[in-house]
Amino acid sequence: MKLTKFGHACVRIEQNDTTVVIDPGLFTEPAAVEGADALLITHEHFDHFTEDQVRAALAANPGLRIWTNRAVADQLAGLGAAVSVVGAGDAFEVGGIDVLVHGEWHAVIHPDAPPVSNIGFLLDGRLFHPGDALTVPEQPVATLLLPIAGPWNKVGELIDYVRELAPGRVLGIHDAVLSDIGLGIGERWLGEHGPGTGVPYGHLRPGAGLELDAV
């Protein structure tokens, strides 16, 4: 399984002859979805999903399939069987990649803000993308994609989340709003020089790739 980081919260996963893209949003390079077999979308916020981009990707590739929650699917009306609605506890397969769905809600930004639904995707028990939530799957996770910068983030909560989940490795994502200085501060707190999570921490630049077979 190969992972390639694209803009912000988007990653592209390739295994054998199957390509899955998670959360191509407004800050994602268009090349991320080219030739993909499936799009997995965690929630409706523009940095994770834009309707025009998804419709354009499907028009260019009619065989593309999309798995997401009801709120996103409602914005993709008219696409028929190309869109599947999934929620917590659901399982499906994409070209030999087993996907389990976890979580229901976006992390709280402020009590006065309306709640937003959010799901996370666990691929083959190896890679977990939680969207914008600190969801803890019941299954072990080899690699956690950790959202490190957003209006709901607090670094202490991220440290405790990683400790609770105890994955084999953490890769920081959701980072478009961070400067190089901000990325360095995040690495300082989440990495080996911070309070300690017990888990190796890394960060990939857009376009960088990583093989996920070994931790």
Domain boundaries, the chain: 2-208
d(CA 204, CA 29) in angstroms, rounded, equals 15
The per-residue pLDDT for 196 is 87
The per-residue pLDDT for 213 is 74
The per-residue pLDDT for 192 is 84
Which residues, given as ranges, of the chain have pLDDT below 50?
A: 214-215
The whole-model pTM stands at 0.96
d(CA 102, CA 118) in angstroms, rounded, equals 9
The per-residue pLDDT for 190 is 93
Q: Just give the CATH number of 2-208.
A: 3.60.15.10
The per-residue pLDDT for 193 is 84
In angstroms, the Cα distances linking 11 to 130, 157, 173 are: 12, 23, 9
The per-residue pLDDT for 42 is 98
